[in-house]
Structure 1
Amino acid sequence: MRLRDIHKSFAGAEGPVPVLRGVDLELAAGETLALTGESGSGKSTLLHLVGGLDRPDSGRIEVAGTEVTALDDSGRAKLRRGTVGVVFQQFNLIPSLNVGDNIAFQARLAGRHEPEQAQALAERLGLAAHLSKYPEQLSGGQQQRTAIARTLAARPDLVLADEPTGNLDEATAEEVLGAMLALVEETGAALMMVTHSEHHAARMARRLHLSGGQVA
């Protein structure tokens, strides 16, 4: 992943409000990165731009050899189906699908569904006994583990995680983060995680701090 001179503003009552001011960033395959900063510093905005969920005002974003900033809506949606996986603080599971089908959903969209791999992910994340359950029947930690399994089942090159343990208690957060880091290491995916936790940031190989819309 490579970002060059990324700028992004949002409309305010008195005109555009700059959020990102010339951000440069590189992340190699298999590398883990914590993105920290105060609330409103642009962490989630940057993650959304990399994932093609929004567009920068200017600058260039490249992921796995694809220039994200040159893609149309359809191209960016295709990117998120296979190349980039996103794990949100809100689990975003599909209520009408059971755990097994939620895990398989992203991989099926990407044309990469392998039942044995999905089963192995479920076992690694402590979900093997819950595959026939629906999201509403799961605890918060189980729902987040399902969301992580769904993302990794598609074997993305880059995983973007936006405060993925923010809704979990401390013990469950530790368990979920540990499982995610282990699985990312095994798959060789790069991981960029937005976090407010100093402890969680310390578990990443690298850390970047956003302040005033720039990398400090």
Structure 2
Amino acid sequence: MLLQAHQLKKSFQSVDGPVPVLRGIDLSVDAGETLALTGESGSGKSTLLHILGGLDVVDSGTISLEGRDITGLDDTGRAALRRDTFGIIFQQFNLIPSLTVAANIAFQARLAGKASAEDLAHLADALGLTEQLNKYPEQLSGGQQQRVAIARALAVRPKLVLADEPTGNLDEDTAEQVLAQMLNLVADTGAALVMVTHSPTLANRMGRRLHLRQGQLA
């Protein structure tokens, strides 16, 4: 078991008091597994993904990574996980405008001390970015920018990739191509992939699918 979450609960404050978003989530992810999280807007998908990735904290419940309890990590500890162990891909590409494509891809890997010219070249080739390495993000199409974001997440050789609507800003054909490339690369690295998506078509490409409804998994 790579990741295990038990009875995760999370509420957000409103003028009328706390609003429950996650109502006791139990979730497990095996090494190398691909899992789709689906659900209506506001069902808690992104909140759950952000909590698993250390971008947010739970009100109660536990999360363990390879048997190690990571629930109580402080900001520094969670940042280290995101740097060294997790690859996170967002709908908004979050590339650094002042860096070239090559530098963007290598950015997280350099922070983790895992930068490799060989890995960068392999990722760029697999994602069709070899001719774009010296360009800047603003010179790329949306599909190319998302491929850069995927390469950046995978350059660190993560154990777990967390993707929040990674193709949400792309047209259907480009989304299919990007997902296929991402799945191939994730399989090559042996990483697990948890992906939030609204698309039944993309969800069906994953090995397993769970649906969030009113803060609970079905």
Number of corresponding residues? 216
Q: CA offset at residue 33 of structure 1?
A: 0.2
Q: CA offset at residue 65 of structure 1?
A: 4.0
- 2:6 is aligned with 1:4: yes
Structure 1 letter corresponding to 2:134? S
Matches within 5 A, 1:24-63: 24-63=26-65
- 2:154 is aligned with 1:160: no
Distance, in Å, in 2 between the alignment partners of 1:191 and 1:8 is: 23
Distance, in Å, in 2 between the alignment partners of 1:63 and 1:50 is: 10
- Unaligned 5+ segments in structure 2 are none
Distance, in Å, in 2 between the alignment partners of 1:77 and 1:143 is: 24
Q: CA offset at residue 13 of structure 1?
A: 1.5
Normalization by structure 1: what TM-score?
A: 0.99
1:25-76 superposed Cα distances (whole Å, 9 cap, x missing partner): 0000000000001100000000000000000000001224442212100000
Equivalent in the alignment of 2:151 = 149
SS in 1 for 2:18: strand
Judge conservation of contact 1:161–1:194 (CA < 8 Å) in 2.
yes
Equivalent in the alignment of 1:172 = 174
Equivalent in the alignment of 2:19 = 17
Equivalent in the alignment of 1:120 = 122
Distance, in Å, in 1 between the alignment partners of 2:84 and 2:176 is: 27
Structure 1 letter corresponding to 2:214? G
Task: Give the one of 190, 193, 198 matched to 2:192.
Answer: 190
Equivalent in the alignment of 2:112 = 110
Distance, in Å, in 2 between the alignment partners of 1:187 and 1:46 is: 24
SS in 2 for 1:20: strand
Distance, in Å, in 2 between the alignment partners of 1:65 and 1:90 is: 32
Structure 2 letter corresponding to 1:32? T
Normalization by structure 2: what TM-score?
A: 0.98
Task: Give the one of 82, 85, 100 matched to 1:83.
Answer: 85
- Unaligned 5+ segments in structure 1 are none
Give the aligned CA root-mean-square deviation in angstroms. 0.7
Equivalent in the alignment of 1:135 = 137
Give aligned-pair identity as a percent. 68
